[in-house]
Structure 1
Amino acid sequence: MPGRFCWVELLTSDIGAAQAFYGEVVGWTCASPGHAERDYRLFFYEGNAAAGLMALPDEAKAQGARPSWFGYVASADVDADVAAITAAGGRLYRPAETLPKIGRFAVVADPQGAPFALWKDLSGMKPPELPPMAVGHVGWRELFTDDVEKAFAFYEGKFGWTKGETMDMGPMGAYQLFATGGDHAVGGMMKRPPNVPQPFWNYYFTVAALDETLEKVKKAGGQLAHGPMEVPGGAWIAQCFDPQGAFFSLVAAKR
């Protein structure tokens, strides 16, 4: 549905190494759909597509992009959304483009500089409805931004997102939960810490047990950046870097 996160993909400097790393850490299998002009692969968990994988494009490198996870928001009209986002002070990184019989997309950034993509499906394929926090899939999204109130106002006005609970994190400020449709929160927004160079979206992948998964991260060549720590509701999280330097997070119901 328009306004909801609909996909996530990894842009990386080494596709083969990334495929092996996430296969070991998250338990994904990988396959190529076979219809893309470039080497585009799909990660699967128990038969359901979970994420995409591709090489970091040269044009993205030229704009300073580094290996990273990248999210898509569903759009009913990509061109109209691009116009509205840029009019609101956002940025257009890649003009709208159609992949025949697959979808139309554009790469944009919100007014504070956090990049994401817009996507309108043209395939007619409906993905399966998965429960919140399904293992092997994105369980949470988190925006690091310079002004939480302004950021939320942008996404609320453009996509109809709604506020959930606001948590006081002391010196770190407020943590604003949000929903993109329905009544359950799917992510949070927080003020960007001083050591984070620019606003960005962070994605949490759900795993069965956190400590076991973190051991796999280390053995596969990744690095632990923060955690593990317990969060309100009883879940456990950790933030990591993969071997190519892409930042990602993990969430689990237990350690």
Structure 2
Amino acid sequence: MTDLNGKFFWYELMTSDPQAAIAFYGDIVGWTAQPFGGERTDDPYHVVSGSAGPMGGIMSIPAEAKDRGMSPWWGGYVGSADVDADAKRLAGAGGSVKRAPEDIPGVGRFAVMSDPGGAAFMLLKGSSPDGMEPAPPMANGHVGWHELYSGAFDADLAFYTGQFGWAKGEAMDMGEMGSYQLVSQTGGTDFQSMTGGIMARPPEVPVPVWLFYFVVPDIDIATEKVKAGGGTVLNGPMEVPGGAWIIQATDPQGAMFALVGMRSGTA
């Protein structure tokens, strides 16, 4: 069983229109969606699955969060062996507890955190002893890359490498935009082991945030589907090291996301 502690393993969209989001992403990314536990309520939590199985969920923005002005947002869950202890440890290392640890019946124990620069993420320990196996690299519909638009580059890099054991790879010079630091959640230091990158937040991104890249089989087809479905392409398609292509976009409700895939004839 793969150790998920300190690694992103579940991704969740809180949105103003779950049914519209399910249709939008289902068309582009190919997800299937099922109400959690088969529940039949007016506003269920939907589990979404890629080619290798469940990878995340889509839900309505909770009323208390909506009252605080929360906008549609993709968040990521990091595995934890002890949510209470990890929340305390991470707060002592420069992070912040945004929602104290509590139980989700039938799911596990979680807490909402932020890193030193202000980007939010969640901790989660599942209630079942049966863990999830990670999807194969670049499996369709799963997350192929994790990117932090950091509010405090040096502090955030030290936070994730020091507290989660992530390894640093190459630091790529982006000129006026600073460095793009490759990181690996699995501890490897070669390029093939890299699972994400950390960069200073660009001016056009309003707040520090984690951006998740969903894998698609053809980036050009997916890009056209984003536009046709009412989303907005912010950047790309752009080629990245390794031969893949990426876009960054917002969905029709305003949540930021990204796609990664090959071009026809380049796979």
TM range (shorter): over 0.9
CA RMSD of aligned residues (A): 1.7
Aligned: 1:123 with 2:128: yes
Per the TM alignment, residue 4 of structure 1 is displaced from its structure 2 partner at its CA by 0.8
3-state SS, counterpart of residue 19 of structure 1:
helix
Give the Cα–Cα distance (whole angstroms) in 1 for the partners of residues 236 and 141 of structure 2: 20
Per the TM alignment, residue 63 of structure 1 is displaced from its structure 2 partner at its CA by 3.5
Partner amino acid, structure 2, of 1:247 = M
Which residue does 1:249 correspond to in 2? 258
Partner amino acid, structure 1, of 2:164 = F
Give the Cα–Cα distance (whole angstroms) in 2 for the partners of residues 168 and 216 of structure 1: 32
| 1:37-48 correspondence to structure 2 within 5 Å | 39-46=44-51, 48=53
The one of 16, 25, 29 equivalent to 1:26 is 29
Aligned: 1:187 with 2:175: no
Q: Does structure 1 conserve the Cα–Cα contact (< 8 Å) formed by 2:95 and 2:113?
A: yes
Q: C-alpha deviations, 1:15-62, integer Å up to 9, x for none?
A: 111111111111111101237796211111246112211111122223
Partner amino acid, structure 1, of 2:61 = L
Give the Cα–Cα distance (whole angstroms) in 2 for the partners of residues 121 and 49 of structure 1: 14
Q: Does structure 2 conserve the Cα–Cα contact (< 8 Å) formed by 1:148 and 1:176?
A: no
TM-score by structure 2 length? 0.90
Give the Cα–Cα distance (whole angstroms) in 2 for the partners of residues 243 and 225 of structure 1: 13
Aligned length: 255
Unaligned stretches of 5+ in structure 1?
none
Deviates more, 1:196-205 or 1:92-101: 92-101
The one of 47, 64, 67 equivalent to 2:72 is 67
Deviates more, 1:31-40 or 1:179-188: 31-40
Give the Cα–Cα distance (whole angstroms) in 2 for the partners of residues 162 and 182 of structure 1: 5
Give the Cα–Cα distance (whole angstroms) in 1 for the partners of residues 258 and 88 of structure 2: 32
Per the TM alignment, residue 111 of structure 1 is displaced from its structure 2 partner at its CA by 1.3
Deviates more, 1:237-246 or 1:95-104: 95-104
Aligned: 1:109 with 2:118: no
3-state SS, counterpart of residue 21 of structure 2:
helix
The one of 153, 172, 196 equivalent to 1:167 is 172
3-state SS, counterpart of residue 190 of structure 1:
strand
Give the Cα–Cα distance (whole angstroms) in 2 for the partners of residues 223 and 234 of structure 1: 24
Which residue does 2:154 correspond to in 1? 149
Report percent identity of matched pairs.
Answer: 51
Unaligned stretches of 5+ in structure 2?
none
Give the Cα–Cα distance (whole angstroms) in 2 for the partners of residues 30 and 195 of structure 1: 32
TM-score by structure 1 length? 0.95
Q: Structure 1 pair 186/34, CA: closer, same or farther in 2 (3 Å)? A: same
Q: C-alpha deviations, 1:186-211, integer Å up to 9, x for none?
A: 10000111121111100000000101
Please identify runs of 4+ aligned residues in structure 1 that moved more than 4 A: 35-38
Deviates more, 1:38-47 or 1:223-232: 38-47
Per the TM alignment, residue 250 of structure 1 is displaced from its structure 2 partner at its CA by 0.3
